[in-house]
Structure 1
Amino acid sequence: MTELSAHTPDLEPAFIDVGQNGNQNSGRRRIAVRARAGEGPGLFWLGGFNSDMKGTKALALDGWAAGQNRACVRFDYSGHGESGGAFRDGTIGRWLEEAVAVFDRFCAGPQVVIGSSMGGWMALLLARELARRTSNRASLAGLVLIAPAPDFTEELMWKGFSPEIRQEIETRGMWLRPSQYGEPYPIMRALIEEGRNHLVLGSAIDVGCPVHILQGAQDPDVPWRHAFALAHRLPADDVVLTMIQDGDHRLSRPQDIARMIAAVAEMK
């Protein structure tokens, strides 16, 4: 496995504007993108909620792509990392709009989409969006989903919140959620309510390509049962679920990174 190092310098970001003033997704925002040129199938990284494209897995993926001369695209959602906008303005639909815009602008030909946590949900929504179109510049060669969290705003947040937290969100419009990874971050009422427009676990999900799910059995944020629920909604063929018995949510240990790279390498 090759990770970014002094021998593989990180790329300078490009920036694109997404959205229009006055639209339902709250106007234009500047999105930071790092696109590594190379051969296909290309790699398209979709990060998690409140994370950025300089995380351990994203950098390891890009480093491997550089060593294999594979194209690799990663970006920050608005309110994350180097992109513009405020985190508290983010919704699933807003971040999906950005993911689709970056995919359309920077990807061509077959792509392996790697989605981590919320990025797993984004990957499924991206696949659904591409399936609706009559033609696309880029197509899906496969999905690698790491601790995927489809429908997390409803299933893993709202349904798990106490009555007191729900009331605070409904009356104040937000709740500051403690995090073991850093400072508390806001959970906005708009995030919960708008997320209901994008739920996928209520019916079959046909993504039209192979899927490999990597899930930690010790994940405190996305329980392993959630991964099973997703697997049951996907077509029976071309779906692999790897349960990592001692794995946590991040799955960023060297052995976890190796599993991610191996899953990506299998997608042709």
Structure 2
Amino acid sequence: MIPKSILFQRHVLYAYLAAKANKPTLCFVPGFRSDFVSSKKSIAIYEYALQHELGFLSWNHNPEGSVTDWYQDGLTLLQHISLGQHYFIGASMGLWISLLLSQKTLPQGVLGIGGGVDFTERWLMNEVPAKERSNPDYIWRRPSLYDPKGYYEIPVSFLLSSRPALIMLKPIDNIKCPIYLIHGALDHDVSIDTAKELYHHLSTSLPRVSFDLIQDGDHQLSRQQDLDFINQKIDQMLT
């Protein structure tokens, strides 16, 4: 079972397993409204860390706040733990936050799984009714297969407050480590076109960016064959 603790600032639930001497830590950053405790990817990465005597760190995003707040929460947690050598593994929105953190914490590598960055702006400009896009009090019901109600209630205030975290508006040139992107061709939450746009955006300013497409993979990438492929990419990232 993944060990759990509470960071009292903003009540962030996190798990931390210290690395053996001179070993790095794998930091799994979950996606939007995802829970590392029940995530198959999180559990698989935790087991990988145990097997290889690596450290492990993961945390849930506070229900209150925006992507900007969640990035700051992650930075506060990393500073609280005082991590040494580390790698980020970001699922969906977790890749967005991983890339933001990577500009501050100098990881050895970043692995994105079904990565979705700047999605708040796409939702705001492409899906929220035009007359409500500047109304912070408006609650937009976005259809979702992951919620029992069939939709997420998305405050426009959340979308507006996430704007300071947007990363596609300018080149990213201050990440020094390799970046590995994995995406499912059947991903209906983050399209292949959006994933390739991110790949090209990163590739224009960063020297080591790779992109692997899993032809029968969806957004979750949580089947055993997906988890095995993720482990292979972790192997590659660590060598």
Deviation for aligned residue 1:153: 0.2
Query: What count of residue pairs does the alignment treat as equivalent?
Result: 230
CA contact (8 A) 2:112 2:182 kept: yes
After superposition, residues 76-225 of structure 1 pair within 5 angstroms as: 76-79=60-63, 89-130=64-105, 139-155=106-122, 157-161=123-127, 163=129, 167=132, 170=135, 172-183=137-148, 184-206=151-173, 207-225=175-193
Which amino acid is 2:68 matched to? G
Deviation for aligned residue 1:38: 2.1
Which amino acid is 2:55 matched to? A
Greater CA drift, 246-255 or 38-47: 38-47
User: Share of identical aligned residues, percent?
Assistant: 28
Flag as ranges the 4+ runs of structure 1 deviating above 6 A: none
Task: In structure 2, list runs of 5 or more residues that go unmatched.
Answer: none
When residues 67 and 128 of structure 1 are mapped into structure 2, their CA distance, relative to the original with a 3 A threshold, is same
Deviation for aligned residue 1:168: 8.2
Deviation for aligned residue 1:196: 1.5
1:34 is aligned to 2:34: no
Task: In structure 1, list runs of 5 or more residues that go unmatched.
Answer: 1-8, 19-28, 80-88, 131-138
Match among 39, 61, 64 for residue 48 of structure 2: 64
CA RMSD in angstroms, aligned pairs only: 1.8
Which amino acid is 2:18 matched to? A
When residues 37 and 219 of structure 1 are mapped into structure 2, their CA distance, relative to the original with a 3 A threshold, is same
Match among 11, 17, 20 for residue 8 of structure 2: 17
Deviation for aligned residue 1:236: 5.2
Deviation for aligned residue 1:42: 0.9
When residues 267 and 41 of structure 1 are mapped into structure 2, their CA distance, relative to the original with a 3 A threshold, is farther
When residues 176 and 162 of structure 1 are mapped into structure 2, their CA distance, relative to the original with a 3 A threshold, is closer
Deviation for aligned residue 1:107: 4.7
Cα deviation per residue 1:201-254 (whole Å; 9 max; x = unaligned)?
Answer: 122213210000001111111011111111112245311100111111111111
